[in-house]
Copies of this chain bind each other. A is one copy, B any other.
Amino acid sequence: MSKALPTRSENYSEWYNELVKRADLAENSAVRGCMVIKPYGYSIWEKMQRALDDMFKETGHTNAYFPLFIPKSYLSKEASHVEGFAKECAVVTHYRLKNDPDGKGVIVDPDAKLEEELIVRPTSETVIWSTYKNWIQSYRDLPLLINQWANVVRWEMRTRLFLRTAEFLWQEGHTAHSTSAEAIAETKQMLEVYAEFAEQWMALPVVKGIKTANERFAGAEDTYCIEALMQDGKALQAGTSHFLGQNFAKAFDVKFQDKEGKLEHVWGTSWGVSTRLMGALIMAHSDDSGLVLPPKLAPIQVVIVPIYKNEEQLAAITEKVNEIRKELKTLGISVKFDDSDAYKPGYKFAEYELKGVPVRLAIGARDLENGTVEVARRDTKTKETVALEGIAGFVRDLLDNIQQAIYDKAFAFREENTTKVDSFEEFNKVLDSKGGFILAHWDGTSETEEKIKEETKATIRCVPLNATEESGVCIYSGKPSTKRVVFARAY
């Protein structure tokens, strides 16, 4: 608390790292690349989970749980899937330790070698489709609409808290359908669910789009995504929804008998969001004083700090505060009364700013006399004096306003930082000056996409779903193009 945060303009990356730690969101563990999600950070994640889970259930999905371990041979069954994940698999080879005969510690028991090595799931398509084979016989068993909340492991070499960690928490939906059209509709539906969650709960405007072949999920026919813009002008992929075609059904021989009695391979989808969303939430809204949390995801929505000179004043304030707390709770608003005497009000103010509590009420003896309270909002860092009469309703409306204001601010930022360019020179100039989303024509080839990536580190984030037909020429190759795609440097 004593030292100020690095500022975003000084060092955005340091600002992020420090903020994650100081706001008690997460920290690195003793195991390289694995994080500890601290209670305050986890309580935000729990709110995300609850909201998403409700949305999944409203759209007809149920939860289940599949094993952590995947037999090594399963990965190989879908060719591009193994290609995509083999390089980052944590492998279990033994199932027992024994005392080290030469020392005090323990060693891996060489006699306890597994017949077939097990992979710690990097994603669960293979283990789930091998299970679906037994669950699906007839069209009556379809659609199968299942989600799981789980931990997964991808052995990344360069990790960053929330954004890229060796182990992360996520949900992965895996559905099976009798037609291609139905599976595609499901893929798109879940993209809409993610977009709605990002915008309504995280106050995060997103571009909905489709990935190019290069950026597609390993094993998918099409990958849909939502892309968000961070304050440093870099993009962050916030969720993906994959149309798997019949790839996994073929790899695991999952067939169903249709109404006419014909055997057909099943059509599949998978879709996921992860604790990476925590990174997006932090990077999109927070400022040099700390976190800025949208009220809908804030573990504490309102903090009340008493300002007092003696016990008598504190007692009178506490009595009034208890009334206010009760009213706020009735409205479903979470509130904390910080009457600890260990710290001064100024210290507490800074602490709750750092933690991103959306609304702070400060009440002193004079406020009681005047029937007022000082209301501070975190997002704008503005204060006003408000009548105690009707304060609960005022706070409820204020929280709604803040939720909207945070979204509007992020939306305006994205608008300001979305640029149409028509030449590669302009492309480079924008990229190096302000970054952001760059809308440009592209010739549709992987070759051009890769060359642009090599030269600029920018990638095609997506082909936006709402892109209008517009004839133009590729900024790199000069070949004809019919719509603009979104380029950006990305997390």
A→B interface (CB under 8 Å): 27, 29-31, 34-39, 42-43, 45-46, 62-76, 82, 86-99, 104-106, 108, 117-120, 127, 130-131, 134, 140, 146, 150-151, 153, 155, 167, 169, 342
| Interface CB pairs A-B, < 8 A, 20 | A29-B67, A30-B127, A30-B130, A31-B118, A34-B67, A34-B69, A36-B64, A38-B64, A42-B64, A68-B153, A69-B167, A76-B105, A86-B97, A87-B96, A90-B92, A90-B118, A91-B95, A92-B120, A93-B93, A120-B120
Q: Give Cα distance in the complex from A75 to B134, angstroms.
A: 39
Do residues A71 and B30 form an inter-chain contact, with CB atoms below 8 A?
Answer: yes
CB neighbours (8 Å) of A72 from chain B are: 97, 105-106, 108
CB neighbours (8 Å) of A37 from chain B are: 64-65
Do residues A155 and B91 form an inter-chain contact, with CB atoms below 8 A?
Answer: no
Q: Give Cα distance in the complex from A189 to B96, angstroms.
A: 35
Do residues B96 and A88 form an inter-chain contact, with CB atoms below 8 A?
Answer: yes
Do residues B71 and A46 form an inter-chain contact, with CB atoms below 8 A?
Answer: no
Given contacts A39-B62, A87-B96, A93-B91, contact A71 B31 (CB under 8 A): yes
Q: Give Cα distance in the complex from A162 to B422, angstroms.
A: 61
Q: Give Cα distance in the complex from A169 to B150, angstroms.
A: 10
A297 to chain B, nearest CB (A): 15
Q: Give Cα distance in the complex from A384 to B88, angstroms.
A: 61
Q: Which residue of B lies closest to A131 (CB)?
A: B36
Residue of A35, A64, A67 with most partner-chain B CB within 10 A: A67
Do residues B70 and A31 form an inter-chain contact, with CB atoms below 8 A?
Answer: yes
Contact of A95 among B27, B90, B130 (CB under 8 A): B90
Residue of A42, A90, A96, A127 with most partner-chain B CB within 10 A: A90
Given contacts A35-B67, A64-B39, A67-B36, contact A104 B117 (CB under 8 A): no
Q: Give Cα distance in the complex from A140 to B340, angstroms.
A: 11
Q: Which residue of B lies closest to A43 (CB)?
A: B62
Do residues B69 and A31 form an inter-chain contact, with CB atoms below 8 A?
Answer: yes
A119 to chain B, nearest CB (A): 8
A157 to chain B, nearest CB (A): 9
Task: Pick the 6 closest A-B CB pairs, nearest first.
Answer: A34-B67, A39-B62, A37-B65, A86-B97, A95-B155, A91-B94
Do residues A43 and B67 form an inter-chain contact, with CB atoms below 8 A?
Answer: no
Give 19 A-B pairs besides A39-B146, A65-B169 with Cβ atoms closer than 8 angstroms: A27-B131, A30-B74, A31-B67, A31-B69, A31-B71, A37-B65, A42-B62, A43-B62, A45-B65, A68-B120, A75-B106, A76-B106, A82-B106, A87-B97, A87-B98, A93-B93, A97-B119, A120-B120, A150-B151
A129 to chain B, nearest CB (A): 11
CB neighbours (8 Å) of A99 from chain B are: 86
CB neighbours (8 Å) of A86 from chain B are: 96-99, 106
Do residues B76 and A104 form an inter-chain contact, with CB atoms below 8 A?
Answer: yes
Do residues A127 and B29 form an inter-chain contact, with CB atoms below 8 A?
Answer: yes
A122 to chain B, nearest CB (A): 11
Q: Give Cα distance in the complex from A17 to B105, angstroms.
A: 40
Q: Which residue of B lies closest to A79 (CB)?
A: B104
Do residues A93 and B71 form an inter-chain contact, with CB atoms below 8 A?
Answer: no
Contact of A117 among B29, B45, B67, B108 (CB under 8 A): B108
Q: Give Cα distance in the complex from A71 to B29, angstroms.
A: 11
A2 to chain B, nearest CB (A): 15
A423 to chain B, nearest CB (A): 42
Do residues B105 and A73 form an inter-chain contact, with CB atoms below 8 A?
Answer: yes
Q: Which residue of B lies closest to A147 (CB)?
A: B39
